[in-house]
Structure formats: C-alpha cells, structure tokens
Chains A and B, each alone.
Chain A
C-alpha cells in the first residue's frame, strides 16, 4: 500500500483499497473503512488548503423550525463559534467558491470549483440504511473508479448522500458565470445530483460538524476522500 501511495498518491491507494476490500465486505463496512482511514482534516486545515481564499462559512438552522434568525455568514472561521452554533442546532457549511464580504453572486471573487450535492434519499424517506449505504458505495465507485481522470478533490459523507468538490485550474477560473453555470448544470445532471443545488453561491457541509436535521440522531459529517496535498 505504501508503495502504491508513493507512486500515484491517494487515488491508487483508494482504488486498491476498493479492489481489495469490496469483495468480502458489506457497503456499511466499506464506508467505515473510508471514514476511519481517510485523514480527517481540521476545519482550519481544510479551509486553508482550498485555493483562492474568500471561503464563506455559513450557519443554517438544521432543526425543522428552520429559524432564519439563526442563519449567519462569516469569512472568519472560529471553531469555538461553530461549536456554539451547533449547540443552537445549526449546521456548518462552507462555500464552494470565493466571495468578498457577502456570499452573493455580485460579490463573487473567484470561481474555483465544480461541485455536487448528491442524495439517494431525503430526510424521513422510508428507505433502509443498508440501501443508502449501498447507493453511497456505488456512487463512490463511480466517482473514484469509473470516471477516469475526472477525480473529485473532496468527497464528504452526509446522512443521505455525498458532497463532492472538483477544484479547477486557472483556465477554467476565467469562465464567465453563464459558462460556468452550464458546466455545473451538466455535471449535476450527469451524476444525478440535486438539480436545485447548482448555484455559484452554494455551500457544502463542513466536516466534522454534525448534521442535525434529526435531533435524535446527529450525524457527524466526515471526509471520505480528499486530495488537497
């Protein structure tokens, strides 16, 4: 394994892990392997590794009340503050792209990524956890093995699906917004992601803060894969 990682970095390590563990392990077990073996970056470390700066940190009320007054956007991350907001049942998110002062289209500073919010079920759906896990593993296989060189840089585990981030280079960053939106739209269609989650101001769940939509079962958000070295 060490040899593989040295040759081709994370990708082959994961690829190999898939090939070796998949046959004799259930989807739940495979996901557990990913959750436990992928280095869980601290929020500060993770945000620092995202190119371009200007990452907005967003807090939304996760509870069924969806209290708008609890919503807050900041550009300075504080672990202490995030924990405090979690106590208020707020989910913690980060912006996929870079902004100045406000997380609005008009304040867009840099387009740095394409992203995917993929869910195989919705909160409260009558779907077995086994099936959710099986679908997640299937999607992971697609993302990591079946899409050739189009590998995501970050895959985040959410209760009903995955959040993915593909960082793009300078050439792509010069896209005009409508052009980027076309790419983003097609990507979401291609992967069967949430068609409502494709706007440039979109935020994704920030690990390790919990998903709190079901107050009785907080779900810790975790990295399943990242290549941000």
Chain B
C-alpha cells in the first residue's frame, strides 16, 4: 500500500475550476428534485419537457425507449394530478423527435465522454499500439504524410491525438483528458499490444539489413546478399528522434570511393584509405561491436568535416556533430538517440567517459530511475558507432585504444581549400552514388561473410571478420585489410605505451638491461623511478605509482600493450612476495608493428617513406603461432 504524499494531493491545494460550475450542478440537482417530488398543476408540461430533455441529453440512445418512458410515467404518478397518458406520450414523442435531430444528444460532454470518443477514434484510425523489446509503450499511427512510430507519452503522439479529436468533433480536448487517454493507451500497448523490436536508423530483419531513409514516404533500403532495393515499411521497426534527418535515395550507379576526394588522409595513406572505406561500410551493419573512429590531425585538416561527411552518409542529423559532455551520465541518452555518435573537438576525457565509450562500442545497457517515480526503471540498450576527433589522439586508456581505429589527416593546402558551401554542394551531388556503392558492397560482403575465414586475433574480432568480407567485396584481398588493420593496431599500441609513464619506463629499463630484468615489485618500483628520472618522467605526478601494489595495477593496464611491443611481463607469487620478470621476446610478431611505428615516426620527422604498406612486412608473413601460445601464459601481475 502506497500512501498519498504532498505531491499526489497537490492538486487539491487550490480550489478546482469545477467549483465554478457548482451553480450549474445545483440547478441540475434541483430539476431532479422536482422530478422526485412531482410538479404542481400548471408546471407539469414544462417539468416533463425539462426532465425528458435532460434524460435524452445524458442517457445513451438505447435507453430512450422503455426506460425513459417508464421513468416519465413514474414521475407523472407523483404529480398531484397526473397528466393524461396520451398527453404525456405526445410530449415524450415531441421531445424525442427533437433529441434525435440533435447530434449531441445522448453524448455527455464531460471529460470521461471525451476520453471515450478519443479512444474510439484511435481504433478507427488504425493506430497500432505495441511495446518494444524493453517494454516501453509505443504507437504506430498515420499522419497526413506517413505512418510513424512514437512513444505514447511523446508530444508528437499527443498532438496527433489532439488533431484527431478536433477533426472529428471540432472541439479542443482538455489536457487532463488527453493525459488520461494516453494513460489508457499505454496500458493497452503494454498488456494487449504485440511486441516489436525497434531499432535506431538501421535494423536487422529476417537476415537482411534494413536502412531507414526516414523520409516523408517512410522508405527503407533492404540489403541482402542478392542486392538491395528501396521499399516502404509495413510495420513498426524504427524509433524516430527529432534530430534525425532524412537520407537521400541511392542512385543507380556510383562507388564508395567517390568519398575519398573529400578526405585529406595524411600522405595519401593507402592503409587508411582502405580502413576508412571499410569502417564507413561497417557502420551500416547493426548489432555488432563497432570500432571507435578516432580522427586526429593539425588544425585546418578538416577533421570535423570528415566526421560530418560520415554522419551525413550513415545517420544524417541536425546538428551533425555532438559535444562530449564532462558528465558521463549525459552519454547514455546521446548514445541511445544517435546511431552514429560523432564527438567533435575532443581533447581529453575522464576514465568514466572512456569506459562508457568502450561499452557503447561493444554493447551497453543502462537503467535509470524514471522521473516522478519511486521504483520504475527507464531502460536503454544500445550498440553504437562512435567517432571522435581532436588535434591529438584523444583516446588515452589502453582498453579504449584497443577498440579504436586511428585515422590521421593532414592540413589542407591553401590552393585546395574549398568553401563550406562548395564542398557540400559537391558532396550532396556525390552522395546518392556513394550510397549506391555502399549498399552494393555491403550486399556482396553479406554474401562473403559466412565463407570468409578471418584470423580473429585482435580485440575487435567481429570488425576484423566484417572488414575482411568488405575488403574482398571492395576488390582488395582480406590479407591486405588485415595487414592494414594490424599496422593501425600497432599505432594504437604505441599510443597506449606513450600515454603510460610506467610503460615508457619499463621499455627504457628493458632496453637498459639488454632484454631481461627480474626482481620484486618493490625493487621494480625503485629501479623504475631511477629510469624515470633519466627519461624525464615526473615521478611526483599523481599518475606515478607511489606504492608497490599500485605499480602492479599500472603494469596490468598496459601489460598487453607491452607484450604487443615485444616485452613480456611475468609475475610469480613467492613466499618472499611477488617477483616480476621483464623479458624482451625475440621474433615477436610485434616486431613488424614496431617497424611500422618506427616507419610512422620517421615519416613524421620527414625522413621516411610515406607509404607504410610498401615498407613493412606483413605480420602474417611468418609463423608466430607458437610464440603467441606462449604469450597467453603470461600471469597476472601482483595483487
């Protein structure tokens, strides 16, 4: 039993508006009183007329026959001198005839009746009530332009109800009645309605990918391995949010590579070209862990423009880009509402936000207490394409970096700069062709997905698998994609190491000790502090571990990155405490990655080859399976 609170009784703090109608009510009561007592001679006719009028007005038509006539007769018997039966019948017939001509007769005009009318209209208008996979109530209803899906409590749906009521009755509906009707429809949707799985922008249905164009005619693109076609939706499948904008229809020809002239990849890097194309196409595949696109580059390198371009291709919206809030609790709503969530000008963020982004990539759920409720949850569930841009690589945490795809842009030369207007005119012209290219490649990739064998060595194994299928559909080999991706992972790995003072010190220590060091955690902390001094690392900084057990935690964070960089960290628990062994691994597959990093670094300094793919041997070109098996035996660091 839930007792009423000051909130729930708040509406009785002030006198209700209905009090003003009290006089009217009393008049009505008086009439019934006369009806009860009978009328004096000379007032029998007007009283009979009034009584009949009231009964015909307030009672449903099916009661106008015997029940009303019976009541009139009963009243007549109370009169001092009852009216003649024939006279009474004449009055009855006369008033009944007038009532039948009055369209409002038999319809009470109070709120309850308005609610009834509106509820009936909802059915007539084929408004489908249902609930989604999270148990939230929705309506699928017809507007003058199209069928749309909205939450029952949304303003859009309530406005539709208002309009519906006005169209049929030419009367405005009271807000309280509207709320009540919405409450009833919510119940119907939850308990009587079917369940439909709702998606944001892109859905999977019967083995096909369905892309919501979200235009006025409710068109969608259905993509399967046989090809793609544009059709109209027959059932609720997508949520719609106000920020979403319609997509253009794909053209009959054109290729995804038409996107590349709009992008300014550093040194025309072919690896990154392939990865960017693959990434863009994977954005059209829902329900799998997407990599997080991280775009970096100096000012004037069109980072934001690239994000806007991808946003326009995948999930057009206004505003196109999002700002990353400092409050991690703001993220779930943004991520839930935006299928493609592009965060602009990100310079850094907290660990909590980093974790949220990781979870958004691999699939996240979020519950929050519903507003104005004690115990009701509001549930969100999403798996999103997230993209970030910043002058530097803004992802810092190793676990986030592991999920990232790093793309670097270079400053656009003055002679190649275009005005914003010119760029968008050209892009809008190219977009239908780009979409045709994407849908065609995606269709081919769906056909190849089941037969392709991806190595699945990396954290984002699903991306790797889809990437191989898409690369083949694009006309590249799967191996070329894997090579490009692993080189990109090498960059991420180096970023992770560069972001960790402990990792930098360990790399320096192993270098100093010629590939091997062993000792307790306490000894390691002491020796690392000395190395850190030489490496100009500030050991007084908050991030530097002040105790041995904290050092263990910091090492664990970068252990996999160190391994990828060719340094194995082993921890053995002995009676004397934890003993840590640092060992350089000969012929580790990461040697290729390290080479890639060196190549990139020399490229940055201006003395290297600009095309990494031409310099670096493929990590798949030698057998590293045995060492990888050994590497898996690495134990946890001290606890």
Contact = CB atoms under 8 A, between A and B. Distances in A.
Given A126-B71, A141-B112, A172-B4, A183 B35 contact: no
Interface string A150-187: 10010000000000001111011000000000111111
A190 B18 contact: yes
Contact of B32 (A127, A185, A228): A127
Interface in B239-258: none
28 contacts: A4-B191, A16-B187, A19-B184, A19-B187, A114-B12, A125-B33, A126-B71, A126-B74, A126-B78, A128-B70, A131-B59, A141-B112, A142-B112, A146-B180, A146-B183, A148-B179, A150-B8, A166-B9, A167-B1, A169-B4, A171-B5, A172-B5, A183-B12, A185-B15, A186-B13, A189-B22, A195-B22, A228-B1
A15 to B, nearest CB: 5
Contacts, number: 119
Contact of A169 (B5, B25, B108, B179): B5
B187 A12 contact: yes
A190 B25 CA distance: 12
B379 interface: no
Contact of A168 (B4, B18, B188): B4
Contacts of B12: 114, 182-184, 186-187, 190
A166 B18 CA distance: 20
B16 A189 contact: yes
A193 B74 CA distance: 27
A186 B180 contact: no
A138 B112 contact: yes
B520 to A, nearest CB: 58
B111 A146 contact: yes
B11 interface: yes
Given A148-B179, A186-B12, A126 B70 contact: no
Contacts of A128: 63, 67, 70-71
A109 B78 CA distance: 48
A131 B179 CA distance: 27
Contacts of B35: 125-127
A5 to B, nearest CB: 11
- Among B4, B78, B112: residue with most chain A CB under 10 A: B4
A229 interface: yes
B36 A124 contact: yes
Interface string A16-45: 100100000000000000000000000000
Interface in B3-50: 3-6, 8-9, 11-16, 18-19, 22, 25, 32-33, 35-36
A186 B36 CA distance: 29
A166 B11 CA distance: 14
A49 B1 CA distance: 10
A120 B180 CA distance: 23
A134 B63 CA distance: 11
Interface string B86-126: 00000000000000000000001001100100000000000
Contacts of A12: 187, 191
Interface residues of A, number: 47
A104 B437 CA distance: 85
A130 B13 contact: no
Interface string B115-154: 1000000000000000000000000000000000000000
A82 B213 CA distance: 72
Contacts of B9: 114, 150, 166, 168, 172, 183, 187
Contacts of A229: 1
Interface of A: 4, 12, 15-16, 19, 49, 51, 114, 121-122, 124-128, 130-131, 134, 138, 141-142, 145-150, 153, 166-169, 171-172, 182-187, 189-190, 192, 195, 227-229
A51 B3 CA distance: 10
A53 to B, nearest CB: 16
Contacts of A121: 32
A141 to B, nearest CB: 6
5 cross-chain pairs, A with B, having the tightest CB-CB distances, nearest first: A169-B3, A146-B180, A190-B16, A186-B12, A189-B19
A186 B75 contact: no
A19 B193 CA distance: 13
Interface in B43-70: 58-59, 63, 67, 70
B6 A171 contact: yes
Contact of A16 (B78, B111, B191): B191
Contacts of B22: 189, 195
A187 to B, nearest CB: 5
A185 B35 CA distance: 29
B526 interface: no
A150 B6 CA distance: 11
Interface string B282-324: 0000000000000000000000000000000000000000000
A192 B25 contact: yes
A145 B180 contact: yes
Interface in B188-202: 188, 191-192
A10 B8 CA distance: 18
Given A114-B9, A146-B180, A195-B22, 5 more contacts: A19-B188, A134-B59, A172-B9, A189-B15, A189-B18
A192 B18 contact: yes
Contacts of A167: 1, 3-4
Given A125-B32, A183-B13, A145 B5 contact: no
A51 B1 CA distance: 11
